[in-house]
Structure 1
Amino acid sequence: MDCDVDYLSNLPIEIFLHICSYLDINKSLPALKCVCKQFKFILSDDLVWKSRVAGRWFPNEKGIEVDWLEACKCIENEASYLRDPSTCDQLVSERAHETDIDALHILENHKTIFTGSRDGLIKIWNINTEEKALEKSMILPCAHNGWIWRIESEDCHSIYSCSFDHSLKHWNFSGDNLVEVWSLDLKFPVLSIKLVNENVIAAGVHKEAVLVDRRTGTSFRTIFKDNHVKLCLEMINDNYLLANGAGKKICCYDLRNDKDEVVSFNFGQVTPLVPLHLATQQNIMYVADGSSKFYSADITKNEPLALRVSFKFNNT
């Protein structure tokens, strides 16, 4: 073998960049730029970092100036942080419920957690950060007669829960007691709720979603009619409602003019799994399914294929 041949510098750029994709962006890659002028030239190209970050993040405004190297560092550092168990405090409560927990909600004081289970119980926990533990403060037996699917709060006192038993309930929480204010039978299993202005929107195994007056506990209007089970609801700017479901389609609805569908995202073209959870920040929608991935989409773009992989977490 000819020892004078520099095989690494003679690699095709595509193979070199593929090798770089396995290297740490904070230490290994900066050191690699110092090896030779060719490596420095390749790794100084914005297109390298833009390609590396493609599919995981994109700016939500057109024409914005982006430092793609810094954007790549932020995304990969965050992904590394989330994968590392040592960076997170684990608060564990063994056998918190006898059956699966489908509803979990943290109050805005960041000190109290509500859990709802398939056993029909709501349990309230205090977060003890010093002991790194959850301390059970109270149990509300028979809060519902079926699986509890969602718990939401308006503030630290007004709590809302929904269940497969067709009920939507409003509770008053005083810190050491949970008292039912009203209960509404919606005639269908309620799988998702969202607080919007003075109302709560409830949806589930039904072709319509129902608007309920939070003050009186009475339903007064139905919105978006389709045949899909709605597992999760999310709001954008108090005007647009996102709804996902078993149809693998995420729809956006304009609540101001009762316009049914503004734009839809065909989740089935990205993954065969059903979207289970939604979250929004500004105009970006984040979606999680039953795999180790979650996705993002710019909801201002009327593009069904705008959904893309944001992160893929290790199963460990």
Structure 2
Amino acid sequence: MSDNNYDQCSTYLSLTDLPMEIFLHICSFLDANTLIRNLGLVCKQFYNILKDDSLWKVRINRIWPNACYPVLSPVDENEQFWKLSCLNVERQAFLWSNLDPMDKFALTGGHYGTIDGLLLMNNGKICISGGRDRLLICWQLNATRTIENQQNANIACGFGHTGWIWDITCLGDNTIYSCSWDRTVRAWDLSNNFSSIRTFKMSSHGALLCVAACNERNLVATGSFRRISVFDPRAHDSSVTKFKPHQLAVMKVAINSDYIISASEDKTVAIWDQRMRRTIKTVTISKDSYPMSMFVNNDAIYTGDSNAMIHIININNNFEQIKSYKSDHTKGITGIHSTLGCLITTSLDGTVKISSPTDPPISFATLNCKHGDIASMHYLNETLAVSGSDEIDIWRPKTEN
């Protein structure tokens, strides 16, 4: 073959000269990550083709053909939304559909009672746990690929309170806050051998059942019987405000720069406006059940209740409850977390359900925990931690050797 003929054949083989239908057909065999982070950066022509939202909507619909994605229409739908959504949907489906890409191991030998407080930090490399044995433990999750257990991962352990530890949160990268039956919130320094920094005594009428922190305002909120207490840990007189948005125990609390959101045994979710300094909305999620778990993002409040129902409240529509679904769990939902790619729930029935973040959610993976009732759950950076009677199960993507 002459050089001229060879050059002519080479030109015909260029991807840039393929008809659009053939190019898109080739793209259908490639994952979203390859398209976005590789092919879309090759040239302006490919970038312009792949920035079309309809391409990513079709790909998501092929994964979840019988459901609507997303549950809530995005308020600010920028040009990256559908790309990132498809990237996350495909990634989570890949990780959880058959579990082959995931490592599972247990953190054992630390607690001897139910573990209600659970917190992942440092991109999922550190796990903090607090239990009814009053112990507070810091676990280092090393990078070993196949691990049956990590008893040696316990790097700091001690009695954190004089009563059961119910919940844990953090401010910044190194300060941990734990709340307890003893009606105190204690601060701990992760960078200084997990040493105690300060104890905050709350004038509550019962145990402190939940705690949450807001980095933007440097505030900590904790819930007890009927009451929410908010304090600034930097101040000598740390109390900021106290209010009673509920008639029964506050089970979960979340705080951001605008709102303090709480869920209670009185079957309601209450929204406190930090600027107006009053409760602006109280939503009754059900007549028959109460919220046991809660997750809040920029657009929605997700709650899981004692009858295994999932409820969604739209933050951007005057906090209206817009969706309620019956989950595949058989008992109350003790943990809930929503991402662009999946919805994760844990339950007293001892299972973890991985579902699509769609309307309605479709369960596509079930994880069984051998320690029985699941008390708590936390998810961070594709690492899932689930706690029960005396151990913690960890799922995370396998690392390459």
How far 1:95 moved relative to its partner? Answer: 4.3
Confirm whether residue 219 of structure 1 aligns to residue 239 of structure 2. yes
What's the secondary structure of 2:124's corresponding residue? coil
1:232 to 252, 256, 276: 252
Look up the match of 2:353.
none
Q: Following the alignment from structure 2 to structure 1, what is the Cα–Cα distance between the partners of residues 87 and 218?
A: 42
Q: Following the alignment from structure 2 to structure 1, what is the Cα–Cα distance between the partners of residues 233 and 129?
A: 21
Higher relative contact order (CA 8 A, sep 6+): 2
Contact persistence 1:274–1:290 (CA under 8 A)? yes
What's the secondary structure of 2:103's corresponding residue? coil
Look up the match of 1:181.
198
Look up the match of 2:303.
287
Contact persistence 1:105–1:114 (CA under 8 A)? yes
Contact persistence 1:124–1:138 (CA under 8 A)? yes
Q: Following the alignment from structure 1 to structure 2, what is the Cα–Cα distance between the partners of residues 183 and 71?
A: 41
Look up the match of 2:182.
165
For 1:184, the aligned partner's letter is K
Query: Where in structure 2 are there 5+ consecutive unaligned residues?
Result: 1-27, 30-57, 326-356, 368-401
Look up the match of 1:38.
none
The residue correspondences of 1:17-36 to structure 2 (distance < 5 A) are none
How far 1:190 moved relative to its partner? Answer: 0.6
Shift in CA distance, 291/130, structure 1 to aligned 2, threshold 3 Å: farther
Look up the match of 1:277.
293
The residue correspondences of 1:194-205 to structure 2 (distance < 5 A) are 194-196=212-214, 197-205=217-225
Confirm whether residue 255 of structure 1 aligns to residue 271 of structure 2. no
Contact persistence 1:277–1:287 (CA under 8 A)? yes
Q: Following the alignment from structure 1 to structure 2, what is the Cα–Cα distance between the partners of residues 245 and 121?
A: 26
How far 1:228 moved relative to its partner? Answer: 2.7
Q: Following the alignment from structure 1 to structure 2, what is the Cα–Cα distance between the partners of residues 167 and 287?
A: 26
Q: Following the alignment from structure 1 to structure 2, what is the Cα–Cα distance between the partners of residues 147 and 284?
A: 31
Shift in CA distance, 191/139, structure 1 to aligned 2, threshold 3 Å: same
**Range 85-94 or range 47-56, more displaced:** 47-56
For 1:228, the aligned partner's letter is L
1:267 to 268, 285, 289: 285
Query: Where in structure 1 are there 5+ consecutive unaligned residues?
Result: 1-25, 28-43
Contact persistence 2:211–2:222 (CA under 8 A)? yes
Look up the match of 1:245.
264
1:169-213 CA distances to partner (integer Å, 9 max, x unpaired)?
A: 1222225342242332433311112223132112122x3211222
Contact persistence 1:184–1:217 (CA under 8 A)? no
1:123-178 CA distances to partner (integer Å, 9 max, x unpaired)?
A: 1100112254540112112x111111111111232111100111111222225342
Shift in CA distance, 303/123, structure 1 to aligned 2, threshold 3 Å: closer
Contact persistence 1:111–1:127 (CA under 8 A)? yes
Q: Following the alignment from structure 1 to structure 2, what is the Cα–Cα distance between the partners of residues 231 and 82?
A: 29
What's the secondary structure of 1:146's corresponding residue? coil
For 1:230, the aligned partner's letter is V
Confirm whether residue 94 of structure 1 aligns to residue 108 of structure 2. yes
How high is the TM-score relative to the length of structure 1?
A: 0.70
What's the secondary structure of 1:307's corresponding residue? strand
Contact persistence 1:224–1:260 (CA under 8 A)? no
Query: Size of the alignment, in residue pairs?
Result: 267
Look up the match of 2:133.
119
